[in-house]
Amino acid sequence: MYVLGIHGTFGRADHDAAAVLIHDDRIVAAAEEERFLRYKHAVGLMPDNAIRYVLAEAAITLHDVDVIAFPRATWHDFRPRFEAYLWYQFGHIPAIEYIDHHLAHAASAYLISGFDESLVVTADQAGDGLCAAVFRGAAGKLTPVDTIPFPDSVGLVAAAMTQYLGYRSQHDEYKVMGLAAHGTPYPRQPLLTIDAGHPHLNTSLLHREVFHRHPLFHTDQLPMIADDTLPGFPPRRLPGGPLRSEHADIAATTQAVIETALHALVERHRRPDDTHLCVAGGVMENSVAVGKLVTHAGFTDIYAAPACGDAGTALGAALVVAAAHGYQPARLDDTRLGPAYTDQAIDSVLRECGIAYHQTDDPAASTAELLARGQIVAWFQGRMEYGPRALGARSLLADPSSAAMRDRVNRIKRREQFRPFGPSILAEHTPELFGHTTIHAPFMSFTLPTTHPRPIVAATHIDGTSRPQTVPPGTGIYRQMIDHFHHLTTVPAVLNTSLNSGWEPIVTDPAQALAFFHSSPADALVIGTHIVTKHHH
C-alpha cells in the first residue's frame, strides 16, 4: 500500500510545504519543497517538486498511490482546489483522507518513536482551531486527552515577540531562543497566564486582525503587537536596529514564558509511572524548552519528531493512514530520506563547472584529517535529510574543541555571533559529556547541560548547554568520520551545522554545494569521494 502525505497550501500564510511517501510499513522518501525551490519554508505553496521527487524515488506515479493524506481536517474550502491541483499537475486523483492537524503532529513523533506507551504533547501557533493538544500513546494508537483552542497559543507569543525584537515571525524564533541565554527574564510579563496547566493569552495586546490569520502579519508587513511598547517592556526593536542588553532580556522573558507554559501542560497530564514523552509541533522546535522537559520533568527518554514544524505533518498524516490499515513503521532515527547523487553525477557537475579536485578512497578518514588540522569542511554525502537539521548528509563541520571555531563558522554562515552550534557525538561518549545515559538525541532536538564542556567548547552555549546529535555505531560514513576524528584528536565529537547560508535552505544537490563553497571561506568541500579545496579552486 502506498500512502502519500502532503502538506502545502495555495497562497495562504501557511508554511513548510512537504511530501512523504510510505510503502506498507517503510518510509520510502520525504522532502521539503524549500530545498527544491530555494525559498525558505515555501510559504503559501504546494510541494510540486517534493511530490515528484518522492514518487520518482519509488519509481511510481500518482496512479500507483492508494491514499493521499492531508493534515488539515477543517479546510473544507480547500478540498475542491486540492483535487483540481492533483488532476492538473498529475492527471489523477487518488482517495484523499483529511487528518486533524494536531493528530498528524502527534503521529509524526509517537508512531515512529518505538515507544509502546508515551505521553504525547503537541504545540504550535495554530492548526485546525487548536494550538496545543495532549494525547496518550499506547500499543500504536493515539487517544486525545486535552486540547488548547486558539488563540491561547504559546506559538503566537513566540511569533509576536520574535517580531517585537525586529526579527521575522515564523522564521527567526530560533534567534530569539539563542539571544535569551544572554539576558535575564523580567519578574513579570503581560503576555500569558497559566491556569491549571492551560495557557491564557492576553489578546488585548495583539492586533485584532492577528486572530483572523491575516497574511500581512506573517510576512511581517504589519506588527502583531498592537502598540509600539508592551506594558513594562522597552519599545520594540526595529528590524536591523542595534541589539542591546534590554533586547536580550526581552528574549529571555519570551523564552521563560514558553518553558513555563510547556512544563505546566506536561505536568498537568503526567502520571507517576510515565517514563516516555513524545513532542511535536512548531513550538517544540525550541530545543531549549524541550531540553528543560528532559532535565526537569524526569522522563527516562524523549522522542521529538524529526520535523516538529508543519513539514512533519505530511509524515504524521501518512503515518495515521498507514496505521489505520495495519502498518506500523519501526523507530526512525535516520532522516536521510531525500535525494542522493552518484559519484558519476558529482563528477559531471565538477567537470562542467571546471572545478579541480582530487578523489579519495576514504572520504571519512580524509575529512577527519582535514578537521584535525583545523580546517572547516563542507560535507555532502548520501541522501539529504528531512527536517530542519543537518545531521551528517548536508553539513558544515569543524573541530568543536577549538573555541575559535565558533566565530569562524558563524562568519561562514553569515549569522549572528550570539547563536550557538551543536555537536555530533559518538553515542557511547554522551554520558561523559552530558551525564545522561538513557537519552537518545538523533535529531539535535534538545539542549542539555554539559558536564564536561572542554572537548566541545565551540558547540557549548554561554549558559553551559549544548544541543547534541548522538551518533550510534553502525550508522554509516558519518559515524566512521567521527570515529576517525576521535582517534586522531581524542575528541569524540565534531561541530555540525547545516550546509547553507543563513537566508537559504540547506543545499540539496552538488551544484548548490559548489555554489555555497565558492561563496564562503570554508576550507574544503568533501562531496562523495571528491575533495575540492580552495587551493584547487
Q: Which residue bears the cell 496505521? A: 323
**Distance between CA atoms of residues 377 and 409, nearest Å:** 10
From first to last of its 537 residues, what are the pLDDT tens digits of the chain?
A: 999 999 999 977 788 999 999 999 999 999 999 999 998 888 889 999 999 999 999 999 999 999 999 999 999 999 999 999 999 999 999 999 999 999 999 999 999 999 999 999 999 999 999 999 999 999 999 999 999 999 999 999 999 999 999 999 888 999 999 999 999 999 999 999 999 999 999 999 998 878 776 665 566 677 889 888 999 999 999 999 999 999 999 999 999 999 999 999 999 999 999 999 999 999 999 999 999 998 888 898 999 999 999 999 999 999 999 999 999 889 999 999 999 999 999 999 999 999 999 999 999 999 999 999 999 999 999 999 999 999 999 999 999 999 999 999 999 998 888 999 999 999 999 999 998 777 899 999 999 999 999 999 999 999 999 999 999 999 999 999 999 999 999 999 999 999 998 789 999 999 999 999 999 999 999 999 999 998 654
Q: Distance between CA 319 and CA 302 in Å, rounded?
A: 19
Q: Which domains does the chain have, with CATH numbers?
A: 2-102+313-324 (3.30.420.40), 113-305 (3.30.420.40), 343-533 (3.90.870.20)
Residue 7 in contact with residue 310, Cβ under 8 Å?
yes
Using DSSP's 3-state secondary structure scheme, residue 95 falls into strand
Pairing mode, if any, of strands 26-32 and 530-533? Answer: unpaired
Under 8 Å between Cβ of 71 and 5: yes
Its pTM stands at 0.96
Is residue 95 within 8 A of residue 64, CB to CB? The reply is no
What is the residue whose three cell numbers read 566541545?
456
User: How many angstroms separate the Cα of 204 from the Cα of each of 123, 127, 196, 208, 237?
Assistant: 22, 21, 22, 8, 20
For the chain, what is the total number of helices (H) and then of strands (E)? Answer: 16, 22
User: How many whole angstroms separate alpha carbon 158 and alpha carbon 143?
Assistant: 28
Element (H, E) at 173: helix 173-180
Give the bridge partners for 398, in sequence order: 495
Cα–Cα distance measured from residue 487 to residue 499, given in angstroms and rounded to the nearest whole number = 25
- Residue 436 · residue 452 · CB < 8 Å: no
- b/e code 13-42 from CB counts within 10 Å (16+ = b): ebbbbbbbbbbeeebbbbbbbbbbbeebbb
